[in-house]
Amino acid sequence: MKSPGLTIGSLVLSVGAVTLLAGCSGTQARYRLEFDTEDATVRTQLVDAAKRVVQRRLEAIGEDPDNLAVTIENGETILVVDTASDAIKDSITEQLTAPFTMRIMKEVEGTGDITVEGHGSFAAAGITEEHLEWVTAGKDTDPEKGRVMLEFTEEGRAVMGEIFHENVGKYIGLFVRDRLVSKLLVESDEVKENIIITDIPAFLLAEIFADDLNVGLHVTFVPAGA
């Protein structure tokens, strides 16, 4: 998989299945969605992405992915999820309210900040979720496969340029929630405004990745009362 100046390793994704015992009676979870943008079009995209994120988490624990709805109450966007038990409700809430982190790290010899079995050790390189603006999923040149484009802020692009310049011939890793999801070989110090990861096995995997990052970056799930 390649983009300018990079050889891209495999993209590893998981929605994290959890086994829980459903109770006899159902329960409802309500979340107020808070956005970091006032753009109506972007908000609509984020609401749709948030619904897909929640549906995948419901499917992962054996719940009906259609047991959710989005309503507007007093000008606020409310996501309502029907679950089979308090245990499942608590699990979903824990997942949706967990802090989101994204880092691009450089591979180092010896002990780094994070060590990944089979991939080596990595140290902070200066890029975090604060430098990522948006992730777009699409189909690759082979329509059976997917691709994602990572768009960085102006500051993020400058830092990425420094990372590329200092790590030619070395690997850097893309970490989401402290998990390695892609490993990239820096082939030259040329960097474009965006990073494109290609040759993802399926478009659905690319969409899952983009949804997870965009929602993590721009949406906060706040538990709301009935």
How does pLDDT run across 73-98, given as a tens digit for each residue?
A: 999 999 999 998 999 999 999 999 99
The β-bridge relationship of strands 6-8 and 2-3 is: antiparallel
Single residue among 98, 114, 132 that ends a domain in this structure? 98
Residue 46, both tokens: 């984020």
The token pair that represents 106 in the structure block: 């450089």
Cα dist from 217 to 28, 159, 185, 223, whole Å: 26, 19, 25, 18
Question: Could you give the CA distance from residue 224 to residue 220 in angstroms, rounded to a whole number?
Answer: 12
Q: What is the pTM of this model?
A: 0.85
Which domain covers residue 171, as residue numbers? Answer: 2-12+100-216
Mean pLDDT of the chain: 88
Question: Which of 41, 70, 98 is where one domain is finished?
Answer: 98
Q: In the structure encoding, which two tokens stand for residue 80, read together? A: 């309502």
Angle at which helix 86-97 crosses helix 40-60, to 10 degrees, equals: 130
- Structural domain total, the chain: 2
Point out the domain boundary residue: 55, 74, 98.
Answer: 98
Q: How confident is the model over 6-39, as pLDDT tens digits?
A: 544 445 544 443 333 333 357 899 999 999 999 9
Shortest CA distance to 112 belongs to which of 127, 123, 128? Answer: 123
Do 126 and 189 fall within a single domain?
Answer: yes
Is the same domain home to 156 and 131? Answer: yes
pLDDT of residue 190: 80
DSSP 74: T
